[in-house]
Structure 1
Amino acid sequence: MIDWPEDLIKQVTRKNIILFVGAGASMGCKNSSGESPLSWDNLLIELSTEFCKTTEAKQEFESIIEHKDYLLAAEYLRYIASDTGNINHYNDKIDTLCNGPSNDPFRPSELHYNLIDLEPSVIVTTNFDSILEEATAGGWASVQFYDAHIDNSIRQGRNVLLKIHGTAKHAGKIVFTQSEYTSLRNEGSLALEVLQSLLLTKMALFVGYSFNDPDLKLILESLFGVTGRGPGHVLVMDGDIPHFRRRLFTEIYGLTVKSFPKGKYDSLLESIVELRGALASTTTGS
């Protein structure tokens, strides 16, 4: 079980948290066929089998993926798809791999429902899938990083689900490749400014991320990176990391790092249920 900081428990009971949800949170989701969403690297490998048809293309992709340069690998795959006139097929393939077949999509897991039960006013996800939209059942207005009304939605007190990297159903507008991450700072500038403002007054809880997750690194560099601050937000990691790396997260990003055994999402679920219990007890007592 995760030993939650008292500050986080207090902010959960005050309904004063922002929830960040990463790809790991979708790993326990399944469809009726028992299939689950793919991890970052497996998603790229699956796409490569579809678009890297020549020996040269296969070797180039394998060289990139061997160095775990996932953003460059995605860039290369998009280049190949575009160069061969298959960009629409590329977009459709991403949608299917992230959400499952249209007639048998991936469904939310218990982890999703328990995270939502923490009642964050803003949920931010770097995931392309539509699993959170289904889990929230319309209780959170889904907006994209490029939408012009993000600030107004939050100002009016609406619960917001921010797709900070877009959605696979509109794969032509997702943030997946090296160049797309760069363009996020322009196209998503309003979304990033709104989040930076919210993080000054609310506590963030990051769930579903691993140490090597490119989504995590890029979102932290976009929103944090102010040295000299004490840990004000909580990052839950999939798998343990050395103490010196934890200290870097604290010193560079102001994050308290907690972890659970690698791939043991049942353990994470138990800890989220315990955290939700703090909110439930407060509601019952009021």
Structure 2
Amino acid sequence: MFVVGADLTRLSCDDVLVPTDRSLRVARSWRPLLPDELITDRQDDGDCVGLSWSGRERVLEVPGDGPRRTWLVDTVDDGGHGLSWLLDGAREALAAVARREVTGPVHGRARRLVGLPALGTGWGGAAGQRGALLQQLLPVLREAAEEHGFDIALVLRGPSDLAAAQRVRRGQDGGWELPDHLRQLAEQLGERARRGQLALFVGAGVSAAAGLPTWERLVDELATRSGLDDALREGLSGLPPQDSAALLARELGSDQLEAFVAERFGPGSYALAHALLADLPVQEFVTTNYDPLVELAASDIGRQVRVLPYEEAEPGRPWLLKLHGDAAHPESVVLTREEYLQFGSTGAALAGVLHSLLLTRHVLFVGTSMLDDDLIRIAHQVRTALQTQGSGTARRTGTVLALREDPARARLWERDVETVAMSPADGSPAEAARRLEVLLDLIGCLSTPPTGYLLDPAYRGMLNDEERALAGALRTVAEALPPEASSTAALEVADLLRRLGHGSSAADGEEPPRELVRGPRDDRPREQRPG
């Protein structure tokens, strides 16, 4: 069972639970999950779906033939039944999902992934009891995941919701199925992330979980588009990937190649791993991927990531360096042998950013085989710089999360990074990828600041006496801030209050001050926002 900050309409899932009521009204934010022909009535407070209940059941499957299935769940408690009624609805919905037969999970996952929001916290019966709901809902979801044999992602959008859920998980033991050495690694990396010492390198393996091609598949897709005859296509397999790409680029021409890159690697659904990585309290990201999925996942939880070198980095804001180009700028993509060679001489400034991170941070490598020529060159340069004159000693500058054991590759890189495998060499790649997600989920739980909901009135019930007293004093400070505060001191205080959850909830009739809200304000009921 995962807890993640994301947008359920863009998270790659097999099944998604969408809240509704007896009139089958849903918030417009859920429309991407519903066929247009099913929308019968559009209103300001939501749209009605052209289906009907057959009795007192609370779950309806939305017709469709795509890989992702949507389920409507009645979460509006008109009878005052309380939290137990909402929990029973979650159980009923997950049991209905389990009865649906599927040929295989989306994009080759080891298990189906079912996504749902915190049911009942908007129009439903738990609008003012989010803390109590999380404390009771999380065990129900863990039990359902174990009973039905699929994975469940509780998807939240508000920083205070995520912080509160992670606190509940730490107190309940979230049930992460990991061996002791991976739990210890999660604690170490979580501590580094909390202290601002961790940076992330995201490789192609992460985007493969969202259906994007690896190098081998990319070459095959390019060959199909180019129309090469069978003899030449067979010969491609004997060439290094960059040389295969060079031949195909020549066949296609620059215009067709750029159009293909822009189309194939453009915006789309992101994988669970993208969301788990984007949730981490990390400010510096580096990738060799062309797609925008990391920055999309980050933006869906209010983190506006600056993409380098196309945008200017800003103090205090996270950034993502795209070493090998961006699909939004297809002319920048590094794909062929010639482009790799040119990058080696002209990309020194970009490589220097990764040099700096390896020297000043601990870099966590996810989804990369560490065979990229540029990575090898950069690691060698950093190793040389770190060696003490005359002693020949150096330190490891990062951790590689590999799917399967590869003793030779681990030995090759042992002077630079620690390589940690998710499974033995003969293990299932899909199961190894799932274990990586579980590890990232635990790192995220351990690194989430425990104070992110302190000033959110929806979670007052989770505070102890000392925390309540502190929250009361801080609310007095918030009330003293001028509405149009613009001084440096006022903005610093406002930022601190926001990070402590002030303005995260409109519960109890409170209107969050605009200057304390992270990103554009969303006036929809919290449960009815995507995720």
Cα deviations across residues 105-159 of structure 1 (Å, max 9, x unaligned)?
A: 5212221111112121111111111112211215210123xx5x76xx26x3431
Please give the alpha-carbon distance, in whole angstroms, between the structure 1 residues aligned to 2:186 and 2:283. 20
How far is 1:7 from its partner? 4.5
1:59 has 2:218 as partner: no
Please give the alpha-carbon distance, in whole angstroms, between the structure 2 residues aligned to 1:63 and 1:191. 34
**Superposed, which structure 2 residues align to 1:147-162 within 5 Å?**
153=313, 156-162=315-321
Structure 1: which amino acid aligns with 2:231?
Q
Please give the alpha-carbon distance, in whole angstroms, between the structure 2 residues aligned to 1:49 and 1:191. 33
1:37 has 2:212 as partner: yes
The TM-score normalised by the length of structure 2 is 0.45
Structure 2: which amino acid aligns with 1:193?
G
1:204 has 2:363 as partner: yes
CA contact (8 A) 1:18 1:205 kept: yes
2:352 corresponds in structure 1 to 193
**Superposed, which structure 2 residues align to 1:158-237 within 5 Å?**
158-210=317-369, 216-225=371-380, 226=383, 228-237=393-402
CA contact (8 A) 1:239 1:263 kept: no
How far is 1:60 from its partner? 3.4
Cα pair distance change 1:275/1:282, threshold 3 Å: same
Please give the alpha-carbon distance, in whole angstroms, between the structure 2 residues aligned to 1:179 and 1:239. 31
How far is 1:186 from its partner? 3.2
Cα pair distance change 1:136/1:108, threshold 3 Å: same
Cα pair distance change 1:51/1:124, threshold 3 Å: same
Structure 2, gaps ≥5 residues long:
1-177, 385-392, 424-428, 453-466, 468-499, 501-531
How far is 1:181 from its partner? 1.1
How far is 1:90 from its partner? 1.7
**Superposed, which structure 2 residues align to 1:102-181 within 5 Å?**
105-137=267-299, 139-144=304-309, 153=313, 156-181=315-340
Structure 2: which amino acid aligns with 1:112?
H
Larger RCO of the pair (alpha carbons < 8 Å, separation 6+): 1
2:96 corresponds in structure 1 to none
How far is 1:193 from its partner? 1.4
1:25 has 2:25 as partner: no
How far is 1:180 from its partner? 0.8
CA contact (8 A) 2:290 2:326 kept: yes
Please give the alpha-carbon distance, in whole angstroms, between the structure 2 residues aligned to 1:10 and 1:238. 23
1:279 has 2:447 as partner: yes
How far is 1:8 from its partner? 3.0
2:59 corresponds in structure 1 to none
Structure number, greater radius of gyration: 2
How far is 1:163 from its partner? 1.0
Structure 1: which amino acid aligns with 2:404?
G
Cα deviations across residues 41-69 of structure 1 (Å, max 9, x unaligned)?
A: 1111011011143x3xx4334223245x1
Cα deviations across residues 196-229 of structure 1 (Å, max 9, x unaligned)?
A: 1222111100001236xxxx42232232112642
CA contact (8 A) 2:344 2:374 kept: no
CA contact (8 A) 1:17 1:202 kept: yes
CA contact (8 A) 1:240 1:259 kept: yes
CA contact (8 A) 2:186 2:442 kept: no
1:48 has 2:226 as partner: no
1:70 has 2:241 as partner: yes
The TM-score normalised by the length of structure 1 is 0.80
Please give the alpha-carbon distance, in whole angstroms, between the structure 1 residues aligned to 2:414 and 2:342. 27
Would you tell me which structure has more helix in proportion to its own residues? 1
Please give the alpha-carbon distance, in whole angstroms, between the structure 2 residues aligned to 1:199 and 1:232. 5
RMSD: 2.4
Cα deviations across residues 166-215 of structure 1 (Å, max 9, x unaligned)?
A: 1122222101111111111333211211221222111100001236xxxx
SS at match of 1:169: coil
How far is 1:98 from its partner? 2.3
Please give the alpha-carbon distance, in whole angstroms, between the structure 2 residues aligned to 1:164 and 1:21. 11
2:261 corresponds in structure 1 to 94
Please give the alpha-carbon distance, in whole angstroms, between the structure 1 residues aligned to 2:265 and 2:422. 25
Please give the alpha-carbon distance, in whole angstroms, between the structure 1 residues aligned to 2:364 and 2:212. 22
CA contact (8 A) 1:9 1:278 kept: yes
**Superposed, which structure 2 residues align to 1:243-258 within 5 Å?**
244-251=408-415, 254-258=416-420
Cα deviations across residues 21-43 of structure 1 (Å, max 9, x unaligned)?
A: 011111222xxxxxx21221111
Structure 1: which amino acid aligns with 2:196?
K
